[in-house]
Amino acid sequence: MMAIVRKEFRRFFTDRRMVLSVLLLPGLMIYLIYSFIGSAATDFLTTNEDYVPVIYAVNLPDSVAELSSQADVEIQPAEADQAAEIKTQIAEKSADLLAIFPEGFDKQVSLAMAGNTQDYTPPRVELYYNSTKIESNSMYALLQTELNDYRDASFTLFTVNPGEQSYDLVTEESATSFMLASLLPMLLMLFLFTGSMSVAPESIVGEKERGTIATLLVTPMRRWELALGKIVSISCIALLSGLSSFIGIMLSLPKLIGIEGPSTQLSNTAATMYAPVDYLMLLAVVFSTVLLFVGLISIISAYAKTVKEANTLVTPLMIVVMLVGVTVMFSQSATTNLMLYLIPAYNSVQVIVGILSFSYQPLFVAITVLTNVLAAGICVFILTRMFNSEKVMFSR
Amino acid sequence: MREILRAESLSKTFKLSTKQQRIEHTKQRVRTAVDQLSFSAYEGEIFGLLGPNGAGKTTTLRMLATLIKPDAGDALIDGYSIRSQPEVVRSRIAFLTSELKLEDFFTPDYLFDFFSNLHAVDPIVARQRKQRLFERFGIDEFAQVKVGDLSSGMKQKASLVISLVHDPAIIIFDEPTNGLDVITAKVVTDFLSELRDQGKTIILSTHIFSLVEKLCDRIGVIINGQMIVCDSLVNVAQDQSLEDRFFELYLKATKDSRSGDAA
Ligand SMILES: Nc1ncnc2c1ncn2[C@@H]1O[C@H](COP(=O)(O)OP(=O)(O)OP(=O)(O)O)[C@@H](O)[C@H]1O
Ligand SMILES: [Mg+2]
């Protein structure tokens, strides 16, 4: 059996094209694609750093000029008769914001603050902007917030969250783990499956198609050794392939979710927040899952007549696996129903969620690994039977 | 002489696919490829299965080599049943046919080691054997070239050598000279005689009379899956040329089966 494993490894690792296409390419492609999506999205939502937005203000009150002086904006006083022209510019996206204050805005406000409200008519401030221009939009938001704050400060009934500090008390770890737990199980399952799919059919139907498996079948090697050797070696390679995709996604993750806030240390956080035991558990679960996937794909491959047919036949299985992965995407914690851990593949996703969200039970992990290995063992048994069957091995 | 192989009423039928039925214009659902075939081969002889295309030669050899199972009957190789002890049988035979290929990606050198390993041959013995056989067949020159880059003659030489990694007592060879030029063919046939002189038993199949006349000690003539005669070369040929005798047998056999069908 070890001879088979060694041969498969040699076949794979000394073939530069295979290593490239199965190990490097998936990771690289995923990294590039997701980084591209991430940075494109970020580009879309952030402005050019050198750009200084301009606010045109009619009857600019001193108080507001002072407020806005901290921000990186230029405030240009404008005359009332220029308003129409500036509005056209805003519509054409060549200007950002036009603020029209009534005359004597500050005086009105100070009157009100002094409690002199009899003759008081609340001044009307108009902010013209263009919602499809990012800078315009953000200037609008900025000025609106400032004016609201100013108003609140002038006349305080109560305040909500007035301080500078962040009021969201979520820790970076749990925010990260929450995100990982919802996203990663699905991606992991998908990558492991596609990893298995890129190796198993080639190694099983490929050999059948080329007539090289018959040469193995006339040696005294036991069929189960052949089946087990194939599944173990393919699984190792599939695991590496899945890992490659996985590293790709982890590296591009900061860019991908950079949109949602400054969590660029995400991958660092992710790397340090799990203990070695967590990683070991994860690896055990992942490897048992790969064994199962490879076992299933190998059986389908042995049944198929050509590599192409095998790939077609495997596709429905891939969809099922993806659906299983999706089931946990929106649930935030792993199930505690023991029976559910007896369902191969589904249990893997559950346990992975558990591990990633720090809420796993070692018993469930053990049951999961055991069930998957057992299921893979059944696959080895079936594959052995198939290797023994001339109808399967010599079908044309 | 020790009987080293005994086939007892070996039978094999194949289900024909509807496509196959259409191509061959037949309504039959099953094809009897081998029909109650019995024969014996003795240690240290070359036994030839002679028969026209589609007679069932390859099918018989595949059953003997345990690649496929007979529907009925059995064969004992060195006393071991191909049905119940296929692993033991496999460790005692070499099987060579165009159906068995070597992986294109590997070199003859690596494959020799790999198959030695599968046959659990002692590494030192394997190394000596490799050296001897590679030299004998001139494989040294391309021992490090990937099988995919070899010519078909070179591939056949490599296959032959690699099938002998475990120094089997019985060599089952389907159409030994098929696709080989006269020089390579002679290398192969000379080698087969040499193996016989070493006491090995060789079962081969062919439809080439000259090969049979040159090489075989005993032959079995198969027509339509049935053994027509099985005897020493001289006894089969009687005082005709083998070719003439074969036609005589062939006409008789096909006439018999036709009248048999009619009855
Ligand atoms: N896998 C198969 N499925 C269906 N029919 C088959 C199969 N293999 C062989 N046969 C049929 O069995 C019969 C015997 O075939 P076999 O290959 O044994 O002949 P052969 O004597 O080796 O002929 P040749 O000299 O052409 O190689 C043929 O009629 C063939 O069509
Ligand atoms: Mg044939």
For B47-82, write each residue's pLDDT tens digit.
999 999 999 999 999 999 999 999 999 999 999 999
Domain housing A63 = 55-154
CB of A344 within 8 A of CB of A292? Answer: yes
CB of B76 within 8 A of CB of B2? Answer: no
- Please state the length of chain A: 396
**Distance from the Cα of residue A252 to its chain's centroid:** 9
The confidence score (pLDDT) of residue B239 equals 81
Residues of A in contact with B119 (CB under 8 A): 219-220
Tens of pLDDT, residue by residue over A199-222, are 999 999 999 999 999 999 999 999
Largest interatomic CA distance in chain B: 63
| Residues A230 and A193 reside in one and the same domain | yes
In 3D space, the residue among A310, A313, A357 whose CA is nearest the CA of residue A334 turns out to be: A357
The token duo for A48 is 């050019």
The confidence score (pLDDT) of residue A261 equals 44
Determine, yes or no, domain membership for A159.
no
Report pTM.
0.81
| Residues A14 and A149 reside in one and the same domain | no
The predicted model gives A365-371 an average pLDDT of: 94
* CA distance linking residue A217 with residue A215, whole number of Å: 5
Out of A207, A212, A219, whose CB is closest to B118?
A219
| Residues A234 and A111 reside in one and the same domain | no
| Residues A365 and A273 reside in one and the same domain | yes
Per-residue pLDDT at A78 exceeds 80: yes
Tens of pLDDT, residue by residue over B182-195, are 999 999 999 999 99
Q: What is the count of structural domains for chain A?
A: 2
CB of A231 within 8 A of CB of A298? Answer: yes
A158 confidence band (pLDDT: 50, 70, 90)? confident
Determine, yes or no, domain membership for A230.
yes
Pocket test for ligand 1, best of B58, B69, B250 (most atoms within 8 A of CB): B58
Strands (E), chain A: 54-58, 74-78, 97-100, 126-128
Owner of token pair 């992965």: A325
| Residues A204 and A145 reside in one and the same domain | no
| Residues A96 and A207 reside in one and the same domain | no
Query: B163 or A355, which is more confident?
Result: B163
The confidence score (pLDDT) of residue A228 equals 95
Ligand nearest to the CA of B208: 1
Q: Which domains does chain B have, with CATH numbers?
A: 3-244 (3.40.50.300)
The token duo for A163 is 């301080």
| Residues A309 and A385 reside in one and the same domain | yes
Distance from the Cα of A222 to chain B's closest Cα (Å) equals: 7
Q: CA of B68: which chain A residue's CA is closest?
A: A390
| Residues A349 and A251 reside in one and the same domain | yes
Q: Where is A238: in which H helix or E strand? A: helix A223-257
For the purposes of burial, counting CB atoms within 10 Å of the CB of B92, is it exposed (0-12), middle (13-18) or buried (19 or more)? Answer: middle
Determine, yes or no, domain membership for A197.
yes
Ligand nearest to the CA of B59: 1
Determine, yes or no, domain membership for A166.
no
A257 confidence band (pLDDT: 50, 70, 90)? low
Averaged confidence pLDDT in chain A: 83
Q: CB–CB of A220 and B88 under 8 A?
A: yes
| Residues A229 and A114 reside in one and the same domain | no
Q: Is the CB of B51 under 6 A from ligand 1?
A: yes
* CA distance linking residue A356 with residue B200, whole number of Å: 65
- Return the amino acid letter for A358: F
| Residues A324 and A218 reside in one and the same domain | yes
Q: Is the CB of B50 under 6 A from ligand 1?
A: no
| Residues A289 and A345 reside in one and the same domain | yes
Residues of B in contact with A204 (CB under 8 A): none
* CA distance linking residue A349 with residue A363, whole number of Å: 15
Per-residue pLDDT at A374 exceeds 90: yes
| Residues A128 and A194 reside in one and the same domain | no
Per-residue pLDDT at B257 exceeds 90: no
Assembly ipTM: 0.91
Percentage, residues of chain B above pLDDT 70: 97
- Return the amino acid letter for A264: T
Per-residue pLDDT at A270 exceeds 90: no
